[in-house]
Amino acid sequence: MLERLNEAMEHVERHLGERIEAAELARIAVTSEYHFRRMFSALAGIPLSEYVRRRRLTVAGAEVLAGQRTLLDIAVRHGYGSAETFARAFRAVHGVGPGEARRTGAALRSQPRMSFRLIVEGSGTMRYRVVEKEGFHLVGRKARVPLVHEGMNPAIVAFVRGIGQETVRRIEALNDQEPHGIVNVSDNVADPGTEGSELDYYHGVVTGAPVPDDLDALAVEAGTWAVFENEGEFPVAIQYLWRDVFTQWFPSNPYRSRPGPEMVHARVSPDGTRADAQLWIPVERVER
């Protein structure tokens, strides 16, 4: 998988001046576009679209400082339709416009070429099982919140605190299958991997029961789920488990992620410092 990811990175470098399609990169990596985006973000720490933008403007920045081409020529070479569009993108990355950068020889920011290599760790094991589930509903309360990679998410904390206890008891009573109890659900992420990008967050349960009209619901189709378990400091252990699934488990197993909600059931200690958790990721088997 890492060799194929590196071939996709070479494709990016050869086509920085053109429109780069995630679907084509996924084809080179022999996986789905959805899984490629998720895997890249987990390994690289930034989403694919941001990496391509930074690389494009890193190369453009060197050409701006070299002074051998006009700014409009550089803009067109790197896929920008006008000098104004190029200038806005250039300033967003480098903190200075291209004209000023050329006049003053300003210091610019550089995004190095990215490649992936295997670091053998293997000191621990991941507890997981694969589950086939019939279609179900996620039922509870829903909010659109920003993504936070580490630590508590203030928007989620405030949202959950605003749900009345009577409503929580009604939601819990609907649960009639795994995962048991209240689950925290992430779905419909606007730009996978970007800190601050928005996602749909559900505080609810998995059920096959009729859905009450006054609760939010998400219909989930039948499919395969990989279920991971761990325990540790809350919420960091859960967030690290998410990361490890994409950076360690997927490259080592014949599965890839598929579109769908990702569910966490956590049993938090009375003092709120530790948790036993289950992470449910929708997956599909692939031939290798």
Q: Going by C-beta distance under 8 Å and a sequence separation of 6 or more, which residues neighbour residue 230?
A: 126, 127, 237, 238, 241, 276, 277, 279
Together in a domain, 135 and 259: yes
User: Does residue 155 share a domain with residue 51?
Assistant: no
SS3 137: strand
**How far is the C-alpha of 250 from the C-alpha of 129, rounded, in Å?**
13
Handedness of CA 109, 114, 117, 123 (dihedral sign): positive
Query: Are 23 and 94 in the same domain?
Result: yes
pLDDT value for 87: 95
Amino acid at 212: P
Residue 114 belongs to some domain of the structure: no
Per the CB < 8 A criterion, the answer to whether 203 and 140 are in contact is: yes
**Would 210 be classed as within a structural domain?**
yes
Cβ atoms within 10 Å, residue 122: 8
Same domain for 264 and 161: yes
Q: Is residue 119 part of a domain?
A: no
21 Cβ contact list (under 8 Å, min separation 6): none
Q: How far apart are CA 82 and CA 71, in angstroms?
A: 10
The candidate with the shortest Cα–Cα distance to 251, out of 21, 33, 43, is 43
Pairing of strands 136-146, 255-257: unpaired
Could you identify the residue written with the tokens 């996924």? 26
Is there a domain that residue 116 lies in? no
281 with 228: CB under 8 angstroms?
Answer: yes
Whole-angstrom distance, CA of residue 249 vs CA of residue 226: 10
**pLDDT score for 118:** 58
Residue 24 lies in a domain: yes
| Position 115 in a domain | no
Whether residues 201 and 97 share a domain: the answer is no
* CATH number (domain holding residue 91): 1.10.10.60
Q: Do 274 and 168 belong together in one domain?
A: yes
Same-domain status, 77 and 134: no
Do 54 and 45 meet the contact criterion of CB atoms below 8 Å apart? no
- Give me the domain span that covers residue 38: 2-104
Q: How many domains does the chain have?
A: 2
Kindly state the greatest CA–CA separation across the chain. Answer: 70
DSSP assignment letter at 1: -
Give residue 243's Cα distance to chain centre. 10
Q: What is the pLDDT of residue 151?
A: 63
Q: What is the pLDDT of residue 218?
A: 96
Do 44 and 150 fall into the same domain? no
pLDDT at residue 85, as a whole number:
93
Q: Which residues of 66-95 are buried (b: 16+ CB within 10 A; e: fewer)?
A: eeeeebeebbbbbbbeebeebbebbeebbe
Q: Residues near 214 by Cβ (< 8 Å), separated by ≥ 6?
A: none
Q: Is 208 helix (H, G, I), strand (E, B) or coil?
A: coil
Each residue's pLDDT, cut to its tens digit, for the chain (288 residues) gives: 678 889 999 999 999 988 899 999 999 999 999 999 888 888 887 889 889 999 999 999 999 999 999 999 999 999 898 999 999 999 999 999 999 999 998 899 999 998 877 555 544 567 899 999 999 999 999 999 987 766 678 999 999 999 999 999 999 999 999 999 999 999 987 655 444 578 899 999 999 999 999 999 999 999 999 999 988 888 788 878 888 888 888 887 889 999 999 999 988 888 888 888 999 999 999 876
